[in-house]
Structure 1
Amino acid sequence: MQKKWLGIVLSVAAAYPCVSQALTFDVRGGYREGSHSYESRYKVSQGWKTGWWASIETDNKNNKNNGRGSNETDKSDGAHSFGDSKTDYNEIESNYTIPLSDKWSFQPGGIYHWSSSGTQIRPYLRLNYKITQDLNTSIRYRYDYNTYETSNGEGESHRDSVNRLDVYLGYKVNPQWSVLWQGTVYKHVNDNYKYKNDKSWAIENAFTLRYKWNSWFSPYVEYDYLDKQGFYEGENCIAESRYRIGMTFTL
Structure 2
Amino acid sequence: MQANHKKLVLAATLLTVTAAAHAFDVDVRGEYRTGSEAWRSRIKVGNQWQNNFGASLEAGMFNGKGSLNEFKSDYNEIEAWYLYKTGPDLTVIPGGFLTWSSAGSAIKPYVRVNWSFAPTWRADVRARYDHNNYDVGTNWHMPADQTYYGRNDQWQFDFWLTKWIGDKTAIEYNYAWNRKDDNQFVYNNGRNWQYLNNLKVSYAVQPNLIPYAEVGYLGKVASLANDDNEWRLRIGSVLRF
Residue 101 of structure 1 aligns with which residue? 87
1:220 aligns with 2:206: no
Are 1:9 and 1:44, in contact at CA under 8 Å, matched by a contact in 2?
no
- Work out which of the residue numbers 76, 89, 97 in structure 2 matches 1:111: 97
Residue 236 of structure 1 aligns with which residue? 226
Secondary structure of the residue aligned to 1:11 is helix
- Work out which of the residue numbers 176, 186, 192 in structure 1 matches 2:178: 186
Residue 11 of structure 1 aligns with which residue? 16
Q: State the 1:4 CA deviation.
A: 8.1
Residue 87 of structure 1 aligns with which residue? 73
- Work out which of the residue numbers 171, 194, 218 in structure 2 matches 1:202: 194
1:36 aligns with 2:31: no
Residue 62 of structure 1 aligns with which residue? 63
Secondary structure of the residue aligned to 1:13 is helix
Measured in 2, the distance between the counterparts of 1:5 and 1:162 equals 26
Q: State the 1:127 CA deviation.
A: 1.1
Are 2:11 and 2:78, in contact at CA under 8 Å, matched by a contact in 1?
no
Q: How does 1:26-175 map to 2 (within 5 A)?
A: 26-64=27-65, 84-152=70-138, 153=140, 154=142, 155-175=147-167
State the one-letter code of the partner of 2:238: T
Measured in 2, the distance between the counterparts of 1:164 and 1:244 equals 21
Alignment gaps of 5+ in structure 1: 68-82
Q: State the 1:52 CA deviation.
A: 0.7
TM-score w.r.t. length of structure 1 = 0.85
Secondary structure of the residue aligned to 1:192 is coil
Q: State the 1:151 CA deviation.
A: 1.8
Measured in 1, the distance between the counterparts of 2:156 and 2:192 equals 12
Q: State the 1:24 CA deviation.
A: 0.3
Measured in 1, the distance between the counterparts of 2:36 and 2:161 equals 28
Q: Deviations over 1:43-64 (max 9, x none)?
A: 0001101111100011111224
Q: Deviations over 1:200-230 (max 9, x none)?
A: 1100011100000111101000001111111
Q: Percent identity?
A: 30
Measured in 1, the distance between the counterparts of 2:9 and 2:40 equals 21
Superposition RMSD in Å = 2.2
Alignment gaps of 5+ in structure 2: none
Are 1:198 and 1:237, in contact at CA under 8 Å, matched by a contact in 2?
no
Structure 1 residues 243 and 14, CA, compared in 2 at 3 Å: closer, same or farther? Answer: closer
Are 1:195 and 1:229, in contact at CA under 8 Å, matched by a contact in 2?
yes
Structure 1 residues 93 and 177, CA, compared in 2 at 3 Å: closer, same or farther? Answer: same
Measured in 1, the distance between the counterparts of 2:212 and 2:70 equals 26
Q: State the 1:111 CA deviation.
A: 0.0
Are 1:6 and 1:44, in contact at CA under 8 Å, matched by a contact in 2?
no
Measured in 1, the distance between the counterparts of 2:202 and 2:39 equals 21
Count of residue pairs the alignment pairs up: 229
Measured in 2, the distance between the counterparts of 1:43 and 1:13 equals 12
State the one-letter code of the partner of 2:235: I
